[in-house]
Structure 1
Amino acid sequence: MWELTKSFRFEAAHALSGTTYGKRSEEIHGHSFRAEVTIRGRPDAATGMVLDLGILDGCIGEVRKALDHKLLNNVEGLGVPTLESLSRFIWDRVQHAGRVTKVSVYRDSCNESCSYFGPIPDIDCHSHRPGER
């Protein structure tokens, strides 16, 4: 079994209320984020690839477009703009690319990260859509 990981970066701002950081967190502030999407599977006998990275790159491009240089509080479908919400948001938008096993979001400057391990769809690792065999 192999795991293939693709990383991407985005810049975004948010404001969080009700944290122990108080005003520092409540005021709009920005972060540099790094995210990783991990796919698990076996290489295809014909291509030698677990997944054509171009497929994953296309999904990631759409997610990056939704998040990069945005006020995360205003991103539809994200909810409260926490690391937890970001990792789930990204998962929901890339899981159809293949057998996604983990999405991690990092704020390296804060030494913080969060990983989401959702249910693994019952699909062939080379499929593009859930349920396709």
Structure 2
Amino acid sequence: MFRIGKQFRFEAAHSLPDLPEGHQCARVHGHSYTVEVYLVSDGELTRPGFVVDFAELGPFSAHIRDHFDHRDLNTVLDAPPTSEHLAAYFYQWCRNHLRLPEPVRVEKVRVSETASTFADYGPDLP
């Protein structure tokens, strides 16, 4: 199996509902988000030896830029804008919108709010 990944970055604000009074994340605050998309292939590589050309992830980069960068995430997502919900949203977006050749598939998406925290989403995660 082959696995590749690419990182994307965006800046955004959010607040999280249903937290105890005084919790810092209940207030509006911002993060420098990192999103990592992991693609896997059980098959042969495409010419010249790629799982897929990283340029095929261009539509995802544009989607982040146009809909998430410098936004209030509470107005973007239909769910509380946690890293977990963002990872699931981005995974589904990639599955539904990226044109990947067979047998390449999206394995998982990782979203980090800080350098030391992250959430992963993928249907086959252990």
TM-score band, normalised by shorter chain:
0.7 to 0.9
Partner of residue 107, structure 1 = 113
Corresponding residue of 2:34 = 34
Counterpart for residue 118 of structure 1: 123
The CA RMSD measured in Å over matched residues stands at: 2.0
Q: CA deviation at 1:72?
A: 0.1
Match of 1:125 in 2: none
| Cα distance in 2 between the residues matched to 1:34 and 1:45 | 28
Match in the other structure for 1:85: 85
Cα-to-partner distance string for 1:96-120 (whole Å, 9 max, x where unaligned):
42300010001225x211000136x
CA distance in 2, matches of 1:89, 1:70: 16
Give unpaired runs (5+ residues) of structure 1.
Answer: 120-133
Alpha carbons of structure 1 residues 78 and 89: separation in structure 2 relative to 1, 3 Å: farther
Cα distance between partner residues in 1 of 2:21 and 2:111: 20
1:69 aligns with 2:75: no
How much has 1:23 moved relative to structure 2? 4.5
**Relative contact order: is structure 1 or structure 2 higher (C-alpha 8 Å, sep ≥ 6)?**
2
Q: CA deviation at 1:46?
A: 3.3
Provide TM-score, normalisation by structure 1: 0.77
Report sequence identity in percent: 32
Tell me which stretches of 4 or more aligned residues in structure 1 moved more than 6 Å: none
Structure 2: 5+ residue runs without aligned partners?
none
Q: Give the whole-Å Cα distance in 1 for the aligned partners of 2:28 and 2:123.
A: 30
TM-score, normalization by structure 2: 0.81
Q: AA paired with 1:112?
A: T
Letter in 1 for 2:88: R
> Counterpart of 1:88 in 2: which secondary structure?
helix
Q: For this pair of structures, how many residues does the alignment match?
A: 117
